[in-house]
Every structure is written in structure tokens, then in C-alpha cells.
Amino acid sequence: MTAVYHFAPTLQDGKVLTMATSFATVTTTERRFPLNIHFPLSPVANQRLKIVASPAGTLPVQEYRADLQGPLDKYMPGKSRREFQMDEAIFSQGDQASAVFYIQSGSVKLTVVSSSGKEATIAHLPAGSFFGEACMAGELLRDASANALQPSTIIRIDKMAMQNLLGREPEFARQFRSYLLARNVRMQADLVDQLFNSSEKRLARLLMLMANFGQETKPVPVIAKISQETLADMIGTTRSRVSFFLNRFRSLGYIDYNCGGMVIHSSLINIVLHD
């Protein structure tokens, strides 16, 4: 099992700090640890998780944090907005790193490719997420590729424009720092989950996080269509195992499908918490 780390910046008192924010595991085998430890969600998120007996309803409108979205809505030189179609590349590994990106709507997948040609998924980023911010810490070339997982609206902010925004908007800078720290905690939890949990638990946890259960924002129980290959890459197992577990979750009433994608019911937490 190979861990690939991606470093992202945060700012404090005008100084750029660097911290690890994500990982990917390049493997197609099951866990080899004889431990029976579960790590469902971060402690903060787990306290906010409420189990609802009834099935989840339709997809609600995604809510954005006004303190992050507001400043990005204002006119500024060096900022642009673009629509991306499913699977369209936003940037590729090796491209010049000169801007930060914000997902206004949709979702994005980050991947890396090794020198031997093996591809690994780093992260699945929902609406309201930043990516590409490593350029703020001196990254010259992209160490990962970013592709839209579904039709997405992406805001691109030039590096200099982002520096100016952080300097003149203290509240935005504080929230941006908090966002990066929270994502760092999430990625550490992902690493522990990858090391100690079974692939079934990893899949259940991933689906619940993708549906926003246990987060500060309102749950979005319908996950847009995503391939089983992508899910397998994200939890470090095979597509056939993902297919087996999804069929099992459906038979137990934990997930369902409609024209919008996969419907995640809150009862899926039973798989995550089961010893």
C-alpha cells in the first residue's frame, strides 16, 4: 500500500503555512490488519450526526457559506467563472500552478498518476470546496489532475488575486484557514479509516460523507451518478467488491437509486458503526 500526500497552504497573520490535506492509497487488495477498529467520522462531525428513521427526501438546494461565497461573488481582476461538463479536465498533472479554484456547484475528482502509469484518486470534492491552493505555498507545477465528476461551475482565482483577497478580507481569510484545517482533520480521519476499516465500512463511510451526513451543512442524500471504478479507487478495493457491497446496501434498504443518482438513507450509519 502506497500513501501519496498532497500539501495545501493556509495563512496565519499574513504568513503562509503548509500542511498535508489529502492522501490516496494505490491498492486493489483488502486490508491486511487483523484489527477490528472502526473510525466512522471525525468526533466533531459524529456529534452532529442525527439518525432519521424515515428515508431521505429529494435533493435539496446546496447551501453555501456566505462568508466564503460572498467575497467571491464580488468583481475582482483575475477572477473568472466557467462551466465544466462531466469528466472534463479542469487542469492536468504537470500544468503550471498559478491559480486557486472554488467549486460553486457540482463536484470534482483529484487524481495522481505515478511514473509507472498507475492512477490513484486523491479526493472527491463537493460544492463549496477549494482546490489547487498549493500554488499559494510555492507549487510551480500541478502534482495532481482535477476533473469534474458532474456538470460543475468552477471559479478560478489567480494566485495574486487570491493573495490580495486574503489580505483585504480578514473574515474570509479566517474562514479559508478554518476550511483548510477542517479538511486536514478529515484527511487524517480518512487515513485511519483506510488503515483499519474493512472495505465495506470504508464504502459506507465514503457514501455518507459524500451525502454530507454528519457535516455542518444540510445533508444532500442524493449522490450524482459516480462510477463504481471511481468509488473503488477512493476506498482502495476492486470494482467487483464495490458492486457487491452496493447491492447488499440496497437489499438492506440503506441506499436506493432514482433518476438523479444514488439515494443515501441515514440508516447506512449502521454499517459504519457495526463492530
Name residue, grid cell 491486511.
32
Which residues does 193 contact at the CB level (< 8 Å), separation at least 6?
A: 39, 201, 202, 205
pTM beyond 0.85: the answer is no
**pLDDT tens digits, one per residue of 176-226:** 998 888 888 887 887 787 788 899 999 998 888 888 776 655 656 677 778
> Each residue of 140-164: b (16+ CB within 10 Å) or e?
eebbbbbbbbbebebbbbbbebbbe
CA dist., res. 163 & res. 157, Å (int): 10
Q: Using 50, 70 and 90 to split pLDDT, how confident is the model at 7?
A: very low
pLDDT band of residue 61 (cuts 50, 70, 90) is: very low
Cα–Cα distance measured from residue 30 to residue 16, given in angstroms and rounded to the nearest whole number: 39
3-class SS at 76? coil
Element (H, E) at 228: helix 228-235
The span from the CA of 70 to the CA of 254, in Å, is 36
Residue 146 pLDDT exceeds 90: yes
